[in-house]
Amino acid sequence: MVTAVCGPSNVELVRSLGADEVVDYTKRDFTADLDTYDVVFDTVTKSSFRRSRRALRRGGKYLPTSGLANNLWAQGTAFLGKRVVAGMSVDKRATLPFVSALLESGELRVVIDHTYPLSDIAAAHRYADAGHKRGNVVIAVTS
């Protein structure tokens, strides 16, 4: 079962992508769900292990996508077997065909918010830096 966390304007989008439950972060703090989740995967760096660990079940894992503090936590710190697993995928040769198959089967759907030409890269950065993009911003590089 997957619980997704997002803002109010993205609740329906996230549900359509397959989330079983959706938490609107403006209404509810998922870290108040004590001992609930096996994995907390933060793809937008808005949480921390320090706060999220109470929402993890015993043996649960917190997966950050950046953050120095999280990398320090990852250095062997574990509370009731709850721990941080940090770092990028190490075996891309094995991983890419797996991800590719998920895309081809439609199991994994990618949300593209805006596509900019390379000549508009400054505008793309301004848009992404505003912090409210839905999914991904693509830069189209043509020769």
Nearer to ligand NAP, 71 or 77 (CB): 71
133 near ligand NAP (CB under 6 A): yes
Q: Would you say 9 or 95 has its CB closer to ligand NAP? A: 9
6 binding ligand NAP? (CB under 6 A)? yes
Please state the length of the chain: 143
User: Least distance from C-beta 60 to ligand NAP, angstroms?
Assistant: 18
- What is the DSSP secondary structure assignment for residue 118, as one 8-state letter? G
Secondary structure letter of residue 10 according to DSSP: G
From the CB of 66, what's the least distance to ligand NAP, in Å? Answer: 4
- Shortest spacing between CB 112 and ligand NAP, in angstroms: 13
Binding mask 12-51 for ligand NAP (x = CB under 6 A): -------------x-----------------xxxx-----
Nearest to 142 by CA among 113, 120, 112: 120
End-to-end CA separation in angstroms for the chain: 44
Phi, psi of 81 (to 5 degrees): 75, 5
Report the candidate in 74, 36, 66, 68 with the shortest Cα–Cα distance to residue 52.
36
Residue of 66, 89, 100, 115 interacting with ligand NAP (CB under 6 A): 66
Q: Which is nearer to ligand NAP, 44 or 118 (CB)?
A: 44
Tokens coding 31: 């870290």
Spell out the residues 6+ positions from residue 4 whose beta carbon is closer than 8 angstroms to its own.
14, 15, 17, 19, 21, 22, 23
Interacting residues toward ligand NAP by CB under 6 A: 5-7, 9-10, 25, 43-46, 65-66, 128, 131-134
